Amino acid sequence: MSSADVAKTFSLPPTSNVVSKLCVLLSTYPTLVPTSQDLYYKWEALSLSLATPSKAAPALDESAVALLTRSLSDEERRAREATFGAAIKDARGNPGGVTPARSAQKRGLGGMLGISPSTPSRSVFARSSIPKASSPYQSTPSRAPTKAGAQNGPNSAGPLPGTTSHVMPTNANAQLKASLSTLETLNANLELAPSGPSSAGPTRVALAVGTDPKAWSYRYMFERLGSKGEALDDRIDAMASIILETYDLSADDIADAAQASQDSVYVIGRLAPALSAPAGTAVAHSTSAAHEEILAGALDGVEEQSERGFPRLTSGNVVLESSRLVGAGSRTPLVFPSSCTIRTTPGCDPRTEPRTGVFPGMIVGLYGKNGGAGKFVVEEILLPPPLPHASTSAEELQTHHHAPGRMASTPLSIVVASGPFSIDSDLLFDPWHRLMDSVEQSRPDVLLLLGPFIPISHPALTAPGQDQLPADIFKQHISARLARLEQTAPRTTAILIPSTKDAVTAHAAWPQPMLDKKDASLGIPKRVKCLPNPSMFSVNEVVFGVTTGDVLRDLGKEETCVDVRLPYAALEALKRSKDGDAAREDPLARSCRHVLSQRSFYPIFPASCATGHPLDVTHSALSHFQTITPDVLLLPSIMRPFARVIDSTVIVNPGASARGKANNNATQYAASPAPQPQHQAQGCFARFSIAPLSQQELQQAGEDSVGHRIYERARVDLLRL
């Protein structure tokens, strides 16, 4: 191809240095760009991917030619890897594989622009071959061996189709064992669960889900104000019934906080920040100018505004919003004097913290008096108690724990990992592949994966040179390794729970339905279970509650504290304590207790802007605890990972599987970016080892139900990748 043809195609001077460099590309990549017109199409596609709404497409200069050279090099490498993977597939047989023509039809936008997709042209459900990941494997530096790496398992067999270097070395077990360090351990006195069986057979666990998929398949952004109001009012009425039953009150004892009275009365409602009235209008439900002064005084000094424009909740600007049945939705300012106390829930230990937390959306009962000044002075706070934990018949527990085809008197092993699974600077999913290498070795009974799998805000999705759709990336990395797990650990049950931040789901509101297994573009294996967000399910007898919304961060952002006077029982408990730890404040435990007491995976209203939680109020009932409190509550958060026992519930933040900041250099977002420091990719995941109950205890129980007591049977190891 002469330089004159190239210059004519690109409308450049024949003597330009750019023309000579383009001629070199034609001679270097004759298969990809046989003619100058093909090379021009490649450049046009690359320039379109580099353009942004605020920045025009770059001009064709020497730096642009360098980017084009890198793009062609990456495309040639992917084509070579695809050919290599196809050769392995042909050698093993290809039942259920797709034809090249059908594969070309599924290229989508990349195919129309002439860019070859990196997704292998094969059926994910073809079980005769073992699909594997397509990210290069980068071993982490050796660290001190821990108990987490003590189990031995089979090495990952064979090279991965579509990769160049993701081949497990002969000492892969030792390297992976050294790369996992223990961050924290709960109940370290319990033994670790052994590696699961590698032979094919039925799963050793029973999974039960009490969810109707039709209830989650709603249309969001179609909310009506009337429906939202009814949902909020119904929640107040439901929690009011619980408070009345707990504290042995009747409906006649409940009064309207806005009504003045000489005697102390009980009121129930939702806490909210006080809002200033619009200019030139009277304050709602005010009976005198004094009421306006009360609200104005409540707002004095409240300068900090939340991102949504509302004033933040403080101890001086709290109002109680009543139900329509009791108070017609009136909003009454509250005053929390220093003499205010918290009534102890019957059967629970007295609270020993000198302050209590309140937040917008919290539903409480209060005992106090409205003396006619337009405010309600609180004397006592009545908090709703958590739901009881589940119990199971001794006969059923005997089957779960000691039957030969089930756990056979061995601990139950569960691995929990939360997204994102790739660092911000690339989409190679190296932390994800290291996690799956560990799972293939330990072969747990259950693998629970929480979204986001591919965050919609991932910088690499919009980076120059990125030519794959999110569904293709999900299929190439997530689905491929899950399909491989079915071969290496056939008895492991994998469960996927999405996130509203996922790029592979079309439902952007919370509560959120499960991932669509029927979507062929995702390629989720048939044996993988998909559950909604949030979700409550049981593995054998253990009840899990899971949400991928960061409720802990939102509660920490929106919560404020009010001083309370400790009751006599709490003061006696403090006297009996030796080191005074009982009086030490614990904000994290307080946030977890809010979730348990309010019986909701997300009790805040309005939703906090700290994480941008897209709450659908009309369908928020799907996020409520219905009959029981889960034995294990999984609350993924950007906060530090932890595993704690709070009010007999094991609450775990497994942390993110990948952590790391994006590099601002756009040239590193290409398909083969420069290697990142290993500390950027260090993530965390949780591993449960739940010991069985003894046969002697179950035999003594006879036909009675037995409490699960997971808080004393579960060992939780937080492992750093």
Identify the three-state secondary structure at position 129.
Answer: coil
How confident is residue 45, by pLDDT bands cut at 50, 70 and 90?
Answer: confident
Q: How confident is the model at residue 10 (pLDDT cuts 50, 70, 90)?
A: confident
List Cβ neighbours of 135 (8 Å cut-off, separation of 6 or more). 163, 166, 428, 429, 430, 432, 433, 477
Position 663 pLDDT exceeds 60: no
Q: What was the pLDDT predicted at 122? A: 33
Beta bridge partners of 367: 266, 380
- Encode pLDDT of 671-714 as tens digits: 334 444 444 447 999 999 999 999 999 999 988 999 999 999 99
What pLDDT was estimated at residue 11?
A: 82
Could you report how far apart the first and last alpha carbons of the chain are, in Å?
51
Q: Which of 22-26, 119-123, 287-291 has the lowest mean pLDDT?
A: 119-123
pLDDT digits (tens, 9 = 90+) for 112-168: 333 333 333 333 223 333 333 333 333 333 333 333 333 333 333 333 333 333 434
pLDDT at 438 over 50: yes
Phi/psi for 8 (5° steps) reads -70, -40
Give CATH 3.60.21.60 domain extents, the chain: 410-532+648-660+681-720
Whose tokens are 């995702």? That residue is 522
Closest alpha carbon to 86 in 161, 164, 163, 167? 161
Summarize the confidence of residues 212-224 as an average pLDDT: 86
Closest CA to 645 of 691, 709, 696: 709
Are residues 531 and 537 in contact, defined by beta-carbon separation less than 8 angstroms? yes
Residue 689's DSSP bridge partners are 413, 715
* Residues 274/333, Cβ–Cβ less than 8 Å: yes
CB 370 within 8 A of CB 257: yes
DSSP state for residue 185 in the 8-state scheme: E
Confidence of residue 254 (pLDDT cuts 50, 70, 90): very high
Residue 94 confidence (pLDDT) above 70? no
Q: Which two tokens stand for residue 89?
A: 């597939």
- Please choose, from the candidates 213, 491, 264, the residue with its C-alpha nearest in 3D space to the C-alpha of residue 376: 264
Give, as one character, the DSSP assignment of residue 459.
Answer: G
CATH 1.10.3720.10 fits 224-276+310-385+557-578, yes or no: no
Residues 430, 481: Cα–Cα separation, whole Å: 12
Contact between 414 and 168 under an 8 Å Cβ cutoff? The reply is no
Q: Does residue 176 register a pLDDT over 60?
A: no
Per-residue pLDDT of 358-401, as tens digits, reads: 999 999 999 999 988 889 999 999 999 999 999 999 999 999 99
Rounded to 10 degrees, what is the CA torsion of 549, 553, 558, 561? 130
- CATH 2.40.50.430 spans which residues of the chain? 224-276+310-385+557-578
Nearest to 344 by CA among 387, 381, 379: 381
Predicted confidence band of residue 40 (pLDDT cuts 50, 70, 90): confident
Do residues 446 and 495 lie in contact, with contact meaning Cβ atoms separated by under 8 Å? yes
- What's the pLDDT at 291? 44
Whether 98 has a pLDDT exceeding 50, the answer reads no
Give the range among 146-155, 455-464, 535-544, 699-708 with minimum mean pLDDT.
Answer: 146-155
Q: Give the Cα separation of 527 and 524 in Å (integer).
A: 9
Cα–Cα distance, 232 to 81 (Å, whole number) = 55
Tell me the C-alpha distance between 424 and 703, whole Å.
Answer: 54
- Listed in sequence order, the residues at least 6 apart from 22 whose beta carbon sits closer than 8 Å to its beta carbon are 6, 10, 36, 39, 65
Catalogue the E-assigned strands of 87-203.
181-186
CATH class given for the domain over 410-532+648-660+681-720: alpha beta
Confidence check: pLDDT of 310 > 90: no
Cβ-proximal residues to 214 (8 Å cutoff; 6+ apart), any chain? none
For residue 179, what pLDDT is reported? 64
Q: 67: pLDDT confidence band, cut at 50, 70 and 90?
A: confident
Burial of residue 246 (CB within 10 Å: 0-12, 13-18, 19+) is: middle
Least confidently predicted of 38-47, 334-343, 400-409, 506-515: 38-47
Decide if 719 contacts 183 (C-beta within 8 A). Answer: yes
On the CB side of 142, how many CA atoms lie within 13 Å of its CA? 6
- The position carrying tokens 């006599």 is 568
The percentage of the chain sitting over the pLDDT mark of 90, rounded to a whole number, equals: 52
pTM: 0.72
> Which amino acid belongs to residue 603?
P
Peptide bond between residue 464 and the one before it cis (omega within 30 degrees of 0): no
Alpha helices in 403-527 (DSSP H): 430-442, 470-474, 480-488
The mean pLDDT of the chain is 79
